[in-house]
Structure 1
Amino acid sequence: MSLHIESTENALAELKKQRTKTLTAAISVSFLGIALMGLLLYLVHIIVAVPEDPPMVAYATQEGDNPDIDTPEVGTGTGDGDGGGIPGIISKRCDLNDRMKRITENGGTPQCEEAVVKSLRWLKKQQNKDGSWGGAPHNYKCAMTGMALLSYLAHCETPLSEEFGETVLKGISFLVDQGMKNPVLSLVPQRNEVSYDHAVATYALCEAYTFCKQMDIPSISNLEKVVIKAVDKIVDNQNTDGGWAYNYNTKAGAHTDLSVTGWNVQALKAAEHGGIRPSKGEIRTALRKAAAYCQKCGKPDGLFTYMQKGREDAAARPSLVGVGVLSLQMCGNGSDSAARKGLDWMLKNTNQPFNWKANNTSSNLYQHYYGVQAAMNRGGDVWKAYNKAFRDSTLGAQATDGSFTPNGFPGPGGLVNSNGGSINDKIYRQCLATLMLEVYYRFLPGTGEGTRNS
């Protein structure tokens, strides 16, 4: 482990001390509660003989009546960039009873929760000694570690978690260490795909930073510094057309595409909701430019193109519909024409259960990772159709060891490209499937801004 971050062992020791203090505090509170109950009963006995004042009628406050209380629904945040609502959302997905309630209310089953836990246990066994996930042949360890961390954080697994705390801490520490040593979160900065690698890792670190800040988890050395540096990289390297290009090329005519843009938008939205302020530029300005880029990729039939009209690969692709719609929702443009048409296309074309077989495109996990989030944000018929299509098929594709069987999806457009062989393929497939099953309660740092119809 590099000297850029305090040793994982020391951090773990501090976290264990905090768990002990928390348990001691809980026991003390319990004893205090018993004492107070006894005192209350005594006072009630005395007060019975005292004449009563006229009764005062108090009406229960309806959710939303108090402007100081922010309890948004899943995937509906305010989109105003102040980070509001994070504590309430986290508490609702961290409590098992509340999580199960949200699962059932949003169309899930208890099996969804069981599958996620099995998946997280499988992922724990795949973690490398340095805290990362993934490896050869492409060495996209930063992106794979980011995907794994997002899966744990979605289930409210933090450095304080009993079963997965050490796993999460080591993953965060790995990315922070890379961020202190390198200008980007990537072990392969020379590759075009660095703009995927860095974006996914930044997305995960922004969520980790928000969790640690809002839940009073002991600070991880240099986490905030690396998060700001990583967000700076994305804001400062947005292409002139509003999207993001291979190798973060900012020149006009560079290889800018919707797939790269989608991951960078997610990272910036997570940063915005966490109250992270880059030292270069403004997140909201960058998201407005990104929205304009995504709108130009929308087609009248609801499909979205890989590159903008007039570029070398401007073909419309079903796999990019969810990317375009979710990106627009996260930018605050979920009610735009392109987003509405994309959702209409999803409703018409996602009405059959996924065929989870090798070389079958109906279970393209890259497509549906975005699609389930966009559909959940919208709610109504499009969500019901999407949920029916993916839920049971995804559950049925999980093996007894918690892994998800190969299904031939064509990859994320830059990270992995085969249908099952390398460790990157396995980790990526695992995380996409897991995040899809967590959509029922996961805090989505992006929203449809009032587009949800439940």
Structure 2
Amino acid sequence: MSLHIESTEEVLAELKRQRAKSLAAAISVSFLGVALMGLLLYLVNIITAIPEEPAVTVYPMEERRGEDPIKPEITRPQRPSSPHQKSEVRIVVSTATTDVPINNPEIDVEIPSDTFSEGLEFGDNIGFNNGKGPGGYEPDDITLSKRCDLNDRMKRITENGGTPQCEEAVVKSLRWLKKQQNGNGSWGDGQFKASMTGITLLAYLAHCETPLSEEFGENVLKGISFLVDLGMKNPVISEQPGLKEVCYDHAVATYALCEAYTFCKQMDIPSISNLERVVVKAVDRILDAQCPNGGWAYSYNNRINPNIDLSVTGWNVQALKAAEHGGIKPTKGEIRTALRKAAMYCRKNVMPDGKFSYKENGENPRSSLVGVGVLSLQMTGNGSDSAARKGLDWIKNNVKTLEWGKGSGTENVKSNLYMHYYCVQAAMNRGGDVWASYNKAFRDAVLGGQKPDGSFSNNDTGYAECLSGKSKNIYRQCLATLMLETYYRFLPGTGEGTKNS
């Protein structure tokens, strides 16, 4: 016998209500479980994301005899000589996390072939034509981090037409330069130590060697210190402020300090005392020295006079562009305004055949100044001007080969490193067939001119008549090194057909 309960509509309705309540309860429990799990994961994430206490770096300070108010105070990492070292210390808190190259690997490479650069496509309208310059002159952290990572640097070398041997040659050169540094932090001898120190620092900075670098950090720091010290003591960055050629000394030194300032600021490197102060003062001096026609003259005479020339102008344009990139705020004018005036001057120096003249309006045209004129126009945001295009056509059509150590004189286009220092940058900024042909010429010649000890063979460097033997060697070394660093010193721009790094 079985019991049977007859269902009624009321019972069915009650069952439905019960099922609905059960379902709602189950869903609520599920949501609560998910919420609790999410909360737990969030708390775990918060705990793991709490930053560690910043590293505390102790910097020993040398005992001073008498306070020199203009001596730059430098803070940098030092390893204490012993755990019981008794010296006054300054504590600096650093949270820098930048990946700075430490040791470059020894690279086994093949000799570059003559057909390496055939068929290269680099696009058109790259470089300074956007007014900001190639990536190396656009103020963003990506630029610096790219060239500071060895893998990325090697990738950019090969993509832009270089070989692993280019990186090996640069490292060997920097090691040679390290041995040439004077005890006071300068490079060179004679009366142009400021410019020789500046151009050497540019070679180190281009390879992302900073005051924190393992192998070259002390050399870079001492070099910056030397220039800052000069800038604090004198109205210009030079050991001889009254020198006629002080326009070169000051411009090259300012160029280097602006790049050093940018590195310190963008890469969270502990600052060097008085660096920013000297940089602003140095840029002010360049702005104040610009002549009404847009050029610069010997002795920094800022009036229209016969000593205004394109060579002096080129170095001052580079210094101002580096200052603009670093976000320097001068007190005596606007950098962009000065660069526009400089472009007006450069246009007056172009010749119908593409050469640029030493003086405006066609006076003393020189093939060695083509690169100066073109690069200056690119840096001022006028790389598409007809004057720049004429110069680039001349470079493509006339510089077929570069033979190391052949010929002499400033008009010899094969061995004038001053000329090629500018032309290789102008060609790289332009890209396309101009760069493909020029890259093949300069790359193999420069690599072939390096000796086993890292130095480069003697040859005419151009515009070095007033340099002594040691300074000439430094000058030659740095020009060649900077040429090999062109592959990664600047990032491609945003022109059509280019690759964004």
1:359 Cα shift? 2.5
Aligned partner of 1:54 in structure 2 is: none
Which runs of structure 2 are paired with 1:86-97 in the superposition (5 Å)? 86-97=140-151
Which aligned pairs between 1:54-203 and structure 2 lie closer than 5 A? 75=127, 78-80=130-132, 84-136=138-190, 139-203=191-255
Could you tell me which amino acid in structure 1 is paired with residue 150 of structure 2? Answer: L
The number of residues matched between the two structures is 393
TM-score (normalizing by structure 2): 0.74
Structure 2 partner of 1:422? 469
The residue type paired with residue 443 of structure 1 is F
Match of 2:486, SS state, is coil
* Aligned-residue offset at 1:350: 1.4
- Tell me whether 1:331 sits opposite 2:380 in the alignment: yes
Q: What CA RMSD, in Å, does the superposition of the two structures yield over aligned residues?
A: 2.8
The CA distance in 2 between the partners of 1:421 and 1:195, in whole Å, is 18
Q: Which amino acid aligns with 1:113?
A: E
Q: Contact (CA 8 Å) 2:130, 2:493: kept in 1 or not?
A: no
Alignment partners' CA distance in 2, 1:417 and 1:453? 40
CA distance in 2: counterparts of 1:14 and 1:220, whole angstroms = 18
Q: Please, which of 56, 67, 76 is the counterpart of residue 11 of structure 1?
A: 76
Structure-1 separation of matches of 2:494 and 2:158: 23
Q: Is the 8 A contact 1:366 1:432 kept in 2?
A: yes
Distance in structure 1 (CA, Å) of the matches to 2:129 and 2:360: 29
Aligned to 1:44: none
One-letter amino acid of the counterpart of residue 336, structure 1: D
Distance 1:231 1:21 in 2: 30
Contact 2:76–2:212 (Cα < 8 Å) also in 1: no
Looking at structure 2, the residues matched to 19 and 99 of structure 1 have their Cα atoms a distance apart, in angstroms, of 30
SS of 2:403's partner is coil
Q: CA deviation at 1:84?
A: 4.3
Residue matched to 1:343: 392
The CA deviation at 1:278 is 0.4
Query: Are the structure 2 counterparts of residues 85 and 240 from structure 1 closer, same or farther at C-alpha, using a change threshold of 3 Å?
Result: closer
Shift of 1:22: 6.7
Distance in structure 2 (CA, Å) of the matches to 1:334 and 1:241: 20
Give runs of aligned pairs for residues 302-341 of structure 1, distance below 5 A: 302-309=354-361, 314-341=363-390
Runs (5+) with no aligned partner, structure 2 = 1-63, 81-89, 100-124
| 1:130 and 1:170 in contact (8 A); partners too | yes
Q: Which residue of 2 aligns with 1:257?
A: 309
Q: Distance in 2 between matches of 1:121 and 1:210?
A: 24
Return the letter of the residue paired with 1:207: E
- Following TM superposition, by how much is the alpha carbon of 1:408 offset from its aligned partner in structure 2, in angstroms? 2.0
TM-score (norm 1): 0.81
CA distance in 1, matches of 2:334, 2:94: 41
Quote the Cα distance in structure 2 between the aligned partners of 1:333 and 1:142. Answer: 30
**Is the CA contact (8 Å cut-off) linking 1:190 and 1:247 kept in structure 2?**
yes
Partners in 1 of 2:96 and 2:370 — Cα distance?
46
Cα separation, partners in 2 of 1:340 and 1:327, compared to 1, 3 Å:
same
SS at 1:11 equivalent? coil
Query: Runs of 5+ in structure 1 lacking a partner?
Result: 26-72
> Is residue 228–residue 276 contact of structure 1 (8 Å, CA) maintained in 2?
yes
Structure 1 position 366, deviation (Å): 0.2
Q: Which residue of 2 aligns with 1:267?
A: 319
Q: Does the C-alpha gap of structure 1 residues 150 and 451 become closer, same or farther in structure 2, counting only changes over 3 Å? A: farther
CA–CA separation in structure 1 for the residues paired with 2:292 and 2:378: 21
For 2:291, the equivalent position in structure 1 comes to: 239
- What are the residue-to-residue correspondences of 1:347-362 with 2, within 5 Å? 347-357=396-406, 359=408, 361=412, 362=414
The reply on whether 1:296 has 2:348 as its aligned counterpart is yes
Please give the secondary structure, in 2, of the residue aligned with 1:306. Answer: strand
What is aligned with 2:478?
Answer: 431
Identity of aligned residues (%): 65
Structure 1 residue aligned with 2:334? 282
Q: Is the 8 A contact 1:259 1:323 kept in 2?
A: yes
For the residues of structure 2 that align with 1:14 and 1:4, how far apart are their CA atoms?
26
Kindly indicate whether the alpha-carbon contact (under 8 Å) linking 2:126 and 2:431 is maintained by their aligned counterparts in 1: no
Quickly say closer, same or farther: Cα 1:7–1:353, change in 2 above 3 A. Answer: same
Letter in 2 for 1:174: F
The Cα of 1:164 is off from its aligned counterpart by 0.4
Distance of 2:183 and 2:475 partners within structure 1: 19
Q: Which digits, 9 at most, give the CA deviation of each residue in 1:78-113, with x for residues without a partner?
A: 525997443111111000000000000000000000
3-state SS, counterpart of residue 194 of structure 2: helix
3-state SS, counterpart of residue 377 of structure 1: helix
Alpha-carbon separation, structure 1, partners of 2:439 and 2:428: 9
Instruction: Kindly indicate whether residue 420 of structure 2 is the aligned counterpart of residue 368 of structure 1.
Output: yes
Per the alignment, in what secondary structure is the counterpart of residue 489 of structure 2?
coil
User: Residue type matched to 1:298 in 2?
Assistant: V
Q: Which amino acid aligns with 2:335?
A: I
Which residue in the other structure is 2:487 paired with? Answer: 440
C-alpha contact (below 8 Å) 1:131/1:167 kept by paired residues: yes
2-structure distance, mates of 1:176, 1:240 = 29
| 2:316 counterpart letter in structure 1 | N
CA shift, 1:189, in A, is: 1.7
- Report what 2:31 is aligned to: none
Larger Rg: 2
